[in-house]
Homo-oligomer: A and B are copies of this chain.
């Protein structure tokens, strides 16, 4: 709970820096708003419940609907913008695969910031400010992180970035360049199209036009080694990329048609569309082409000339997202324009940090065989004092007071029923950044033994300098 509170304090500080005000919305919300936004469906991860009058409620996994409704009711004119509101509250998802303790649970703590702007230009400014605040937050935590482009950065599209900690427990696969700063999530990553290849593999996908009027047969052609079988296509084709190409052609895969209905429909297919991977000779003369093969380790980077792509597993701990009018339009959050002649839906953004997940990820990334290792910014205490039983209480308090008045968040292990060995193991297990032992050294020469497992530091320091020595260690953690 102390770690959580410290993390929340770090977030609060940086949210204040971009003039975001803190709110707290209820976890129970009505179905109605979610129906209006189109996110209430039978197949979702929503936890639903009824009250005694059979009214439908749900446990909010996020609060776009609720906050859009509230802000939409409170703003009238472009002059009322920008508005930036955030909260740190419990969220709920009926997860298919809850796992990894805090990494993915049915109940979790999330920071969600919602931004409201008048124009796309203003929204872009806000987006940049949020990105900077996120950089500051993640830098302060001093845990290595990578930021993945979640799209090309076209403001009309889905401007979005993901913040990941790199760890084998991560469920996300990221492709990262070994030469430049390019990093992207598996779904969105591109690779350099190198040379023309004439061997090919053809697959047929079944789609439907966006307006559901026409059945479409998609013939997908990608380069393929000779020995690939039909069952291997999943390893060759990047379905997300195919979907993007198809979307641009007005073809929809997310129709929810079941297999037999689709088979029936496909018999009367009226259109066939061919999509070629960019590495095939046909691609040059076809509109329907793109980078649609999956990336393999060692593929060329799409951004620089010499880099190669390698995959790393990531735990997503943060996400920034420009929403545009995705929610303001259906929920009618509009403002009067400058000329007062019309009303326009506001430009929104939503920006999350998985608070409980980040705690689990930090524990996963920094622990070793002896225990946890908390970064200074979110450690339950920055330092712990472990005295041997023969040290006078006044001396212990002298050391404690000196550290505390230097602004160090210190705790004293004064449990009478435990030995020093047990206490040191316990301190390692809990993962305090700095451990200070008051023992023989103190009795002989008024020195304190300072330990810092993460930096491999162990030293007897005299009473004059131990405070600055501790501070120096903490600055690196």
Contact = CB atoms under 8 A, between A and B. Distances in A.
Contacts of A92: 28
Contacts of A48: 49
Contacts of A49: 47-49, 59
A471 interface: no
A27 interface: yes
Report copies per complex: 2
A27 B90 contact: yes
A79 B417 CA distance: 10
A468 interface: no
A415 interface: no
Interface residues of A, number: 22
B96 A28 contact: no
Interface in A90-123: 90, 92, 94, 96, 106-107
Contacts of A106: 28, 51
A107 to B, nearest CB: 5
Nearest to A89: B90
A139 interface: no
A52 B94 contact: yes
A27 B26 CA distance: 13
B107 A52 contact: no
A228 B47 CA distance: 54
A203 interface: no
21 contacts: A1-B22, A1-B23, A1-B24, A4-B24, A26-B107, A27-B27, A27-B90, A27-B107, A28-B92, A47-B49, A47-B51, A48-B49, A49-B49, A49-B59, A51-B94, A51-B106, A52-B94, A52-B96, A59-B59, A79-B417, A90-B90
What 3 pairs between A and B have smallest CB-CB spacing? Answer: A49-B49, A26-B107, A28-B107
